[in-house]
Amino acid sequence: MPKEKASSYSVPKLGTFTGPTLDKAVAKLLAAVDAESKHLSQEREWKDFRDRWLSRNNGLLAQVNELWLKAAPKESKREVGQRVNELKKKVDYQIEDIRSRLVSRPSTGEEAGKSESDREMSKPAPDSRALDITLPGIERPLGAEHPVIKTMNEIVSVFRGLGYSVEEGPEIETDYYNFEALNFPPNHPARDTQDTLFIADQDHKPPRERLLLRTHTSPVQIRAMGKTKPPLRIVCPGKVHRNDAPDATHSPIFHQVEGLAVDTNITFSDLKGTLDYAMKTLFGSSVKTRFYPSFFPFTEPSADVQISCIFCNGAGRRDGAACRNCKASGWIELLGCGMVDPNVYSFVDYDATKVSGFAFGMGVERIAILKYGVGDIQMFFQGDVRFLQQFA
């Protein structure tokens, strides 16, 4: 490229930064790109041309950034910035387009005088190593289930085997389904234990219609009861959200599997038998279960369920020392349950004098930690392939 052509354009300083001034300066710059490109005949010349315009240190577009954008007054920077960004995109595209046209056309008069067949014959032979069609294809390895999803599917399969069906619902719920219909009246102190994440700008709505990220999968049970008459046996797996600070045992996002059975003559013994069977299926037939009183607004009576420690076989000691997993008690708390409170039936038009039922809920990560011996719940969410590959 002749030197006088390469240096024919320089980026001017702008006296004003009005729209017409910017339009005129941009048009002049694009015209200069087009004019200088007409003198290019070889790829080496195109590289020099590209560097002159696009070099990060002293390229003309870098000068545009210094002389136009940085020099613009504060009130004009936004408009100038938009113009400069659009200009850079146009110049980048134009320079690449010039290269494409340069490569596709004959570079010398001698080459131009050749016939199409002569040009084909003069092309260098392709590298025979570039493609070998006899080689096997590249296999894309299939992934494996994430340990949390794998555990959740195992839990669900246990209850499917007992005749339960699977129900799912929205993660963004109303206050009514997440709390009120589950016997959490407004201002109930148990609401404070849920650390709820509310959707912004909901103050104009009635309290029961305000949106939030569900704190449990129990709303799915209410929705299912609202559309299905007894008998009903469902499990509700899914993601839930609470405003918990992340640490080794807590996460603002986690997963639950909750279950519900409603029919005539269902008793607490049915609940105990169901959960005892489920725990033995998940952790082994030698596992024992025990229930002790607790409180949940939507069940009465309520209970927490413990299983005998699977690490020390319920002895409380392991390798001559106190078992850290069960804190030397021989038991590990795992889930909550109870008989459905009759008040809940009033929200779905069930006759509490004719039907009864039980509900339970368990954290999937909690069970996965026990099954796989994971020491920190955060490892499930960090996406470290080295950790996840262990479960493939």
Residues 164-179: tens digit of each pLDDT: 999 999 999 999 999 9
For residue range 270-299, list pLDDT tens digits in order.
999 999 999 999 999 999 999 999 999 999
Is 123 within the bounds of a domain? no
Query: Is 9:60 a contact under the CB 8 Å cutoff?
Result: yes
Range of the domain at 13: 3-117
Q: Do residue 159 and residue 105 come from a single domain?
A: no
Between CA 311 and CA 7 the distance in angstroms is: 79
Q: What is the dihedral of CA 344, 345, 347, 349, to 10 degrees?
A: 180
Q: Which residues pair with 259 in a beta bridge?
A: 235, 360
What pLDDT is recorded for position 25?
Answer: 87
Question: Above pLDDT 70, what percent of the chain?
Answer: 91
- Strand order from edge to edge, sheet including 289-296: 165-166, 232-241, 253-263, 356-363, 331-340, 299-308, 289-296
CA-to-CA separations, 214 to 195, 211, 234, in angstroms, rounded:
11, 9, 18
Between CA 328 and CA 314 the distance in angstroms is: 9
DSSP string over 189-238: GGGGGG--EEPSS-TTS-GGG-EEE-SSSHHHHHHHHHH-PSSEEEEEEE
Give the least confident one: 75-89, 304-318, 331-345, 348-362. 75-89
Long-range contacts formed by 159-162: CB under 8 A, 24+ apart: 159/235, 159/259, 159/278, 160/235, 162/233, 162/274, 162/277
Length of the chain: 392
Is 138 within the bounds of a domain? no
Is 306 within the bounds of a domain? yes
Q: Do residue 111 and residue 211 come from a single domain?
A: no
Q: Answer with the one of 117, 136, 164 that is the final residue of a domain.
A: 117
Does the pLDDT value for residue 34 go beyond 90? no
Q: Which residue has the tokens 């952790």?
A: 283
Q: Do residue 167 and residue 94 come from a single domain?
A: no
- Count of domains observed in the chain: 2
Is 177 within the bounds of a domain? yes
Query: Is 303:336 a contact under the CB 8 Å cutoff?
Result: yes
Q: Which residue has the tokens 């910017």?
A: 22
Q: Do residue 232 and residue 353 come from a single domain?
A: yes
Rounded to two decimals, what is the model's pTM?
A: 0.64
β-strand 172-174 against 321-322: which pairing, if any? Answer: unpaired
Is 335 within the bounds of a domain? yes
Q: Do residue 266 and residue 197 come from a single domain?
A: yes
CA-to-CA separations, 339 to 42, 279, 301, in angstroms, rounded:
84, 19, 6
Q: Answer with the one of 79, 99, 117 that is the final residue of a domain.
A: 117
Q: Do residue 345 and residue 232 come from a single domain?
A: yes
Alpha helices for the chain (secondary structure H): 3-6, 19-37, 43-54, 60-64, 77-104, 109-112, 116-122, 147-160, 175-178, 218-227, 268-283, 342-345, 364-372, 385-388
Q: Do residue 204 and residue 345 come from a single domain?
A: yes
Between CA 165 and CA 163 the distance in angstroms is: 7
Is 264 within the bounds of a domain? yes
Between CA 182 and CA 359 the distance in angstroms is: 12
For residue range 130-146, list pLDDT tens digits in order.
677 788 888 777 778 89
Q: Do residue 169 and residue 291 come from a single domain?
A: yes
Does the pLDDT value for residue 306 go beyond 80? yes
Q: Do residue 113 and residue 153 come from a single domain?
A: no
Mean pLDDT, rounded, for 51-77: 84
| Distance, C-alpha 129 to centroid of its chain | 41
Q: Answer with the one of 75, 100, 117 that is the final residue of a domain.
A: 117
Tokens encoding 383: 């996406």
Is 381 within the bounds of a domain? yes
Q: Do residue 75 and residue 176 come from a single domain?
A: no
Is 75 within the bounds of a domain? yes
The dihedral through the CA atoms of 222, 226, 231, 236 has a sign that is negative
Quote the radius of gyration of the chain (alpha carbons, Å).
Answer: 35
Give the list of residues 6+ apart from residue 367 with CB closer than 8 angstroms, or none: 151, 155, 282, 334
For residue range 317-337, list pLDDT tens digits in order.
998 899 988 999 999 999 999
What pLDDT is recorded for position 1?
Answer: 43
Give the least confident one: 3-12, 246-255, 261-270. 3-12
H-helix or E-strand containing 260?
A: strand 253-263
Q: Do residue 218 and residue 316 come from a single domain?
A: yes
Q: Do residue 111 and residue 151 come from a single domain?
A: no
CATH number of domain containing 157: 3.30.930.10
What pLDDT is recorded for position 311?
Answer: 92
